[in-house]
Amino acid sequence: KAGVTQTPRYLIKTRGQQVTLSCSPISGHRSVSWYQQTPGQGLQFLFEYFSETQRNKGNFPGRFSGRQFSNSRSEMNVSTLELGDSALYLCASSLATGNQETQYFGPGTRLLVL
C-alpha cells in the first residue's frame, strides 16, 4: 500500500509569490491534515479536510488556504509569501475505524522563501 505522498519535495519562492502544495493520502483515507514545522515555532496545525470539507482550522492567517478533491487528494495554497513562511509543510492522512485511529504523515514539502 502506497504511503502519503507530497509534491513537490522542495520549493524555492520569493516574497510576494504564491505557492501550491499537493498531498495524496493513503488509498481509502478520507481525512487529510496539514501542519507547518519550523525550528522556532515547532509543529503547528494548519487545517483538516474530510470528504472535501474543511473540518478544523488552526490559527493561521487567511493567506493559508486549502481544499480537498473528491478523490481525497488535497492542496494547500499560500498567497503573498513572507520570509516567515519558510518551513517544512507536512500532510497527514487518517483513517478512523471504530475507536481506533491511524494517522500517517508524508515526507513533507520544504519551502524556502527568499
Partner 1 sequence: AQSVTQLGSHVSVSEGALVLLRCNYSSSVPPYLFWYVQYPNQGLQLLLKYTSAATLVKGINGFEAEFKKSETSFHLTKPSAHMSDAAEYFCAVSGVGNEKLTFGTGTRLTIIP
Rule CB under 8 A: is residue 48 a binding residue for partner 1?
A: yes
Residue 38 engages partner 1 in binding (rule: CB under 8 A): no
Q: Does 106 bind partner 1 (CB under 8 A)?
A: yes
Q: Quote the least distance from Cβ 103 to partner 1, whole Å.
A: 4
Number of helices (H), then strands (E), belonging to the chain: the values are 0, 11
Q: Of 57 and 63, which CB lies nearer to partner 1 in the complex structure?
A: 57
Residue 25 DSSP symbol: P
How many Cβ atoms sit within 10 Å of the Cβ of residue 89? Answer: 23
Residue 33 in the binding site for partner 1 (CB under 8 A): yes
Amino acid at 62: G
Q: Does residue 25 bind partner 1 (CB under 8 A)? A: no
CB of 2: closest distance to partner 1 in angstroms?
14
Rounded alpha-carbon distances, angstroms, from residue 100 to 28, 38, 97: 15, 29, 5
